[in-house]
Structure 1
Amino acid sequence: MNKLKYDDATAITMAPGVSRRVLSHTPGLMLVEVTFASSAVVPVHNHPHQQISYIKSGRFSFTSNGESEEAGPGDSLAFASDVEHGVTCLEDGVVIDCFTPAREDFL
């Protein structure tokens, strides 16, 4: 079992108003907390990992394949490998992202 205490997980700035904290990971799976300030943007991007995003708090506008979807607390979204996606924060919040396999670029 791998255990990581929250206070030991380092917050890394991803973009202005956006920081991530790797909560736990194995080679095949990763859990990441992403904290957003209102109006912060993660530009459209893609990666080979499958991703599920769970909205813990706040409001967000997610874009994928040219379509936008607003999401709030309790909502979740899934993104297949290599699908372009991005997000704009509409109201300060936190998203919990799960990736498979783990994102080596986040370690």
Structure 2
Amino acid sequence: MNMQSECFQIEAEMPWEDLGNGIQRQVFGYNDQVMLVKAKFEVGAIGTLHEHHHTQVTYVDSGIFEMTIGIEQKIIRKGDGFYVPPHTIHGCVCIAAGTLIDAFSPARQDFLE
């Protein structure tokens, strides 16, 4: 499937998708091969442990999170980041409200449905 976002994404003009349980998502630029996504977490929100075939790289824009990747767990905060290889179990618990900036390859088509 050939898909592509508009060339510019203006934050104030883009909708947030309410995922429930204190998590919201905002999809930014993408094509078939790459996608940028913002995920906003309230204190106590849980990014349930999961896995997917996408490679994921994430930057912590704000907040504090207890992050689990495979069997490793670390506290990460503003300025930190993490890498998740394909098919690796991962998830987080939000300790202080914040936003994660995720890049996926290939794009998460399921986020557009």
TM-score by length of 2: 0.90
Q: Kindly state the Cα deviation for residue 40 of structure 1 after the two structures are TM-superposed.
A: 0.3
Report the more deviating stretch, 5-14 or 73-82. Answer: 5-14
Q: Kindly state the Cα deviation for residue 24 of structure 1 after the two structures are TM-superposed.
A: 1.1
The aligned counterpart of 2:3 is none
Pairs aligned (count): 107
Percent identity reads: 31
> Does 2:4 correspond to 1:11?
no
Superposed CA RMSD? 1.2
Segments of 5+ residues of structure 1 without an aligned counterpart are none
2-structure distance, mates of 1:15, 1:88: 14
Superposed CA deviations along residues 49-104 of structure 1, whole A, max 9, x for unmatched, are 00011000000011111221110011010000010000100000011000001000
Segments of 5+ residues of structure 2 without an aligned counterpart are 1-5
Q: Which has the higher strand share?
A: 1
Amino acid at match of 1:49: H
TM-score by length of 1: 0.94
The aligned counterpart of 2:52 is 47
1-structure distance, mates of 2:49, 2:20: 13
For the residue of structure 2 that corresponds to 1:61, the secondary structure is strand
